[in-house]
Amino acid sequence: MRRVFFILLLIITVSFVIPSYAKEVSFTQEDRDRLIRLETKVDEGLKAVNQRIDATNQRIDTLNTFMLWGFGILFGGMGILIGFVIWDRRTALAPAIKRNKELEERGDKIERALRRYAREDPKLAEILKEEGLKIKN
């Protein structure tokens, strides 16, 4: 009995469900026109979005070029500044180096003169030894 009842219920259910799927949905002319208008609007919207994207890309390219020029000028200026500092140090130190060299030469001459005179004067030779200057014979 249960089997018969189940089969009957299944047949009734299938008989109601199948015809609902079999119906064809027909579009009216108004529905078709509405779809065409919607498709046209979507295409126009996509064109507008593409134009905005192209304009944004152009602005980004302009900004990129501006930044490259800015960094180029900045680093170029830094290089020139470093070159100027090195040149200025060299020119500022040149007179001091020259003066130091002259003083060393003068000190060497005085020391040679004192050593030569110390060979003749024993008192001067003793003073030079106390100061740590050796006298060569």
Quick check: helix, strand or coil at residue 137? coil
pLDDT for position 98? 93
pLDDT of 20 higher than 80: no
pLDDT of 57 higher than 70: yes
- Model pLDDT for residues 67-108, shown as the tens digit of each residue: 999 999 999 999 999 999 999 998 988 899 999 999 999 999
CA distance 119 to 135: 8
Q: Indicate the residue type of 119.
A: R
pLDDT of 23 higher than 60: no
Q: What is the domain partition of the chain in residue ranges?
A: 33-130
